[in-house]
Amino acid sequence: DAGITQSPRHKVTETGTPVTLRCHQTENHRYMYWYRQDPGHGLRLIHYSYGVKDTDKGEVSDGYSVSRSKTEDFLLTLESATSSQTSVYFCAIRESGENHYEQYFGPGTRLTVT
Amino acid sequence: KNQVEQSPQSLIILEGKNCTLQCNYTVSPFSNLRWYKQDTGRGPVSLTIMTFSENTKSNGRYTATLDADTKQSSLHITASQLSDSASYICVVIESGGSYIPTFGRGTSLIVHP
């Protein structure tokens, strides 16, 4: 699992409340990613980071923000949760190096917005 | 827009049988193609990675093929086991520095005893 943990693993929250999901890695990988996975869709990229304080948007970034103040932690924040953000969220890291480097995923966080 | 299409959407087979899953993509320029296995409630786990020059790659009972000319890949599972029941996801990586993968929707495989 490349030392990736996500917290919380499950969360139920109400519409309009802020939510922060945490991804923690133990192997000092430079690149970290946040994806969401919904039925009928492939994994979709929300945001990614290529270093401390270096982040960029993915294809479904609206309504989400991220922060990376330390190499090991990548936080995903829903400023005001909506029902459309009910999903399973996966964090991932990728190894640096050759073009066909590995990407490893965390165990996921199941978020329900009521 | 880059796309990855997988077929079939779902598949049910009996234990011990073989099966083949398909992946067609439009990602260009192409860097590499990956197959992942995702068990229910878990994150995806990599099975194979193939670059442009590789036609086939095996990982135990899993064999992936790639035809970069027709932009097609397949994943063949031999002598299926109950533990093969999972979603199999095809992922294509565009060449360049950003490493933004395009994911297929997956094929859900159920292996019955």
- Whether A1 shows a pLDDT value over 80: the answer reads no
- Whether B97 shows a pLDDT value over 70: the answer reads no
- Who contacts B109 (Cβ-Cβ below 8 Å, separation ≥6)? B10, B11, B12, B13, B19, B21, B77, B80, B84, B85, B86, B87, B88
* CB contact A71 to B (< 8 Å): no
Question: Quick check: B31 and A100 CB within 8 A?
Answer: yes
Neighboring chain A residues of B98 at a CB cutoff of 8 Å = 56
What confidence score (pLDDT) does residue B98 get? 66
What confidence score (pLDDT) does residue B82 get? 98
* Mean of pLDDT values over A64-89: 97
Distance CA A95, CA A28 (A): 9
**pLDDT tens figures, A46-71:** 999 999 999 999 999 999 999 999 99
First-to-last C-alpha distance (Å) of chain A: 31
**pLDDT band for position A42 (cuts 50, 70, 90):** confident
* Mean of pLDDT values over A78-84: 96
Q: Give the residue among A87, A58, A59 at the shortest CA–CA distance from A74.
A: A58
Per-residue three-class SS string for chain B? CCCEEEECCEEEEECCCCEEEEEEECCCCEEEEEEEEECCCCCCEEEEEEECCCCEEEECCEEEEEECCCCEEEEEECCCCHHHCEEEEEEEEECCCCCCEEECCCEEEEEEC
What confidence score (pLDDT) does residue A99 get? 55
**pLDDT tens figures, B12-71:** 999 999 999 999 999 888 889 999 999 999 999 999 999 888 999 999 999 999 999 999
The residue type found at B51 is T
Mean pLDDT score of chain A: 93
- Who contacts A65 (Cβ-Cβ below 8 Å, separation ≥6)? A47, A76, A77, A79
Q: State the CB neighbour count (10 A cutoff) for residue A26.
A: 11
- Whether B8 shows a pLDDT value over 70: the answer reads yes
Distance CA B33, CA A103 (A): 12
* CB contact B95 to A (< 8 Å): yes
* A-interface mutation test, from B4, B52, B102, most A Cβ less than 10 A away: B102
* Mean of pLDDT values over A100-105: 83
**pLDDT band for position A97 (cuts 50, 70, 90):** low
The residue type found at A96 is S
